[in-house]
């Protein structure tokens, strides 16, 4: 197979990867930020045809996992995080921060990609290890308003997809 | 700890968690939990097994109800920790997705179905064995180690795919010719000089390419990655 065709095939395999992506963040009430969350979901769906791109509030564990209605929300979210390949967290609201606070020091933390406004760079809400290992990245207002934040997310998910195909922990 | 020789004790603890014991017996178990370390460790294993069985729907209905009443609804439940441990353990056992044809969920399957496709084949007995051997050997900073490992892997993958797979193209050229100068390596590869240098630097940083006196060659790791890519694409890639 010619090189270009093979390369195309790998790109296709990456984009067709069976992925589960969670997008956590602000709810419908927080207009602009919710729009951004929807935009991330939309772009991910466009680029990764076989992926489940879900908001945690759209998942109902109890339909498939008996007894989970007895669990608290953080416990249910732990199941969500365990089941996904990557979890994008739009850290624009207190709620999102609180959601992930339960998991930042867990063995599942490597799945997180926390997107935080640069003005909170000095905040110590999350362990510094997350920043050091690029599980928390910071964006400027310009990046937020433009497509570059979404592009960063797509790049991460693409990396996770190929890593998954290689059988790596990413 | 060989618990197979300890069945009456296991049953006792199981009875304790299910609320099957008489009041006096219940109290005696609680007392032992505080005073007998081995007994306490056994109780952790039994408790974990019960929660596993509960989570997977393997408990008989009456035991599920007992467990809910007695254990899962108590305010000081172990549930949080326990669920986290179960998840961490099965995740570490199922990190790699099954290859096509080896079963597993379809791409169209829901997130929950996928979760189950990972959970169900996982052998509980193995997990239990692992848990038993893991007790007392917790690694408090393991999550940081995992963060580091995942980041290294992501960097490696990124070095191949960045700038429209420029890194992979360079690596492939080095497979064709085991040692190349910068000019030879980048000749004919599409991309600006800056992009090419950046891509090459990434490959070197990740250990995929080695440089010796301005001559570049593919490392062992680089060759391994190319093999993986060949397998993935179903053909030998050549630049």
Residues of chain A contacting residue B229, judged by C-beta atoms under 8 Å apart: 10
Whether residue B84 lies within 8 A of chain A, CB to CB, comes out as yes
Whether residue A32 lies within 8 A of chain B, CB to CB, comes out as no
With respect to residue A40, please indicate whether it lies within any of the assigned structural domains. yes
A10 min Cα distance to partner chain B (Å): 6
B184 min Cα distance to partner chain A (Å): 19
Q: Distance between CA A122 and CA A159 in Å, rounded?
A: 28
**What is the ipTM for the molecules in this complex?**
0.91
The shortest CB-CB distance from A67 to any of B68, B108, B168 is to B68
Whether residue B116 lies within 8 A of chain A, CB to CB, comes out as yes
**Domains held by chain A: number:** 1
Whether residue A78 lies within 8 A of chain B, CB to CB, comes out as yes
Report the CATH number of the B144-233 domain: 1.10.10.10
Q: Which CATH number fits the domain that encloses residue A110?
A: 3.40.50.2300
> Given strand B209-212, what is the order of strands in its sheet?
B180-181, B215-218, B209-212
- DSSP 8-state symbol, A110: G
Whether residue B174 lies within 8 A of chain A, CB to CB, comes out as no
With respect to residue A3, please indicate whether it lies within any of the assigned structural domains. no
With respect to residue A63, please indicate whether it lies within any of the assigned structural domains. no
Domain ranges in chain B?
3-134, 144-233
Per-residue pLDDT of chain B (239 residues), as tens digits, is 444 445 688 888 888 888 888 888 888 888 888 777 788 778 878 877 777 776 666 778 788 778 777 665 544 444 444 454 455 555 555 444 333 333 343 433 444 444 444 444 333 444 444 444 444 445 667 888 899 999 999 999 999 999 999 999 999 999 888 889 999 998 888 889 899 999 999 999 999 999 988 899 999 999 999 999 988 887 666 65
Token code pair at residue B41: 């460790």
From the CB of residue B234, how many other CB atoms can be counted at a distance below 10 Å? Answer: 11
Instruction: Give the residue from chain A lying closest to B59, CA to CA.
Output: A66
With respect to residue A2, please indicate whether it lies within any of the assigned structural domains. no
Token code pair at residue B13: 């603890």
Q: Which of residues 44-73 of A touch B (CB under 8 A)?
A: 50, 52, 54, 59, 61, 63-67, 70-72
With respect to residue A10, please indicate whether it lies within any of the assigned structural domains. no
pTM, two decimals, is: 0.66
Which tens digits make up the pLDDT trace of B139-174? 667 888 899 999 999 999 999 999 999 999 999 999
Boundaries of domain holding A149: 17-58+73-166
With tokens 């109780």, the residue in question is B43
Whether residue B147 lies within 8 A of chain A, CB to CB, comes out as yes
Whether residue B83 lies within 8 A of chain A, CB to CB, comes out as yes
Q: Distance between CA A160 and CA B127 in Å, rounded?
A: 26
With tokens 């968690």, the residue in question is B17
H helix intervals, chain B:
7-18, 23-35, 37-55, 61-67, 79-93, 111-119, 124-134, 142-176, 182-186, 193-205, 220-233
């Amino acid at each position: 197979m010619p090189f270009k065709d093979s390369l195309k095939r790998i790109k296709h395999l990456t984009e067709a990867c069976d992925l589960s992506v969670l997008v956590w963040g602000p709810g419908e009430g927080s207009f602009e930020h919710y729009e951004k969350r929807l935009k991330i979901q939309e772009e991910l769906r466009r680029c990764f045809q076989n992926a489940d791109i879900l908001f945690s509030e759209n998942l109902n564990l109890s339909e498939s996992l008996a007894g989970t209605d007895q669990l608290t929300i953080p416990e249910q979210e732990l199941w969500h995080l365990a089941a996904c390949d990557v979890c994008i967290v739009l850290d624009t609201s207190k709620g999102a921060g609180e959601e992930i606070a339960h998991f930042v020091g867990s063995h599942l933390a490597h799945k997180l990609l926390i997107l935080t406004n640069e003005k909170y760079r000095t905040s110590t809400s999350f362990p510094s290890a997350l920043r050091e290992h690029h599980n928390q990245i910071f964006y400027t207002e310009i990046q937020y308003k433009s497509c570059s934040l979404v592009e960063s997310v797509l790049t991460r998910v693409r990396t996770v997809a190929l890593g998954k195909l290689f059988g790596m922990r990413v | 700890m060989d618990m197979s020789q300890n069945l009456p004790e296991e049953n006792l603890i199981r009875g304790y968690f299910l609320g099957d014991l008489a009041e006096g017996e219940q109290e005696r178990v609680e007392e032992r939990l505080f005073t007998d370390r081995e007994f306490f460790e056994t109780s952790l294993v039994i408790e974990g097994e019960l929660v596993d069985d509960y989570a997977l729907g393997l408990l008989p209905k009456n035991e599920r109800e007992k467990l809910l009443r007695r254990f899962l609804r108590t305010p000081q439940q172990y549930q949080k920790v326990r669920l986290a441990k179960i998840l961490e353990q099965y995740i570490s056992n199922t990190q790699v997705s099954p290859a096509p044809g080896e079963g597993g969920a379809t791409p169209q399957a829901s997130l929950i179905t996928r979760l189950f496709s990972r959970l169900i084949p996982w052998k509980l007995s193995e997990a239990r064995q692992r848990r038993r051997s893991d007790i007392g050997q917790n690694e408090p900073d393991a999550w940081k180690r995992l963060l580091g490992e995942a980041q290294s892997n992501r960097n490696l993958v990124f070095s191949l795919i960045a700038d429209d797979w420029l890194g992979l193209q360079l690596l492939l050229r080095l497979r064709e010719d085991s040692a190349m100068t910068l000019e030879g390596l980048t000749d004919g590869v599409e991309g600006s000089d800056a992009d090419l240098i950046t891509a090459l630097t990434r490959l070197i940083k990740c250990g995929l390419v080695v440089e010796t006196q301005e001559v570049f060659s593919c490392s062992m790791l680089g060759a391994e990655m190319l093999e993986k890519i060949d397998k993935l694409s179903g053909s030998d890639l050549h630049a």
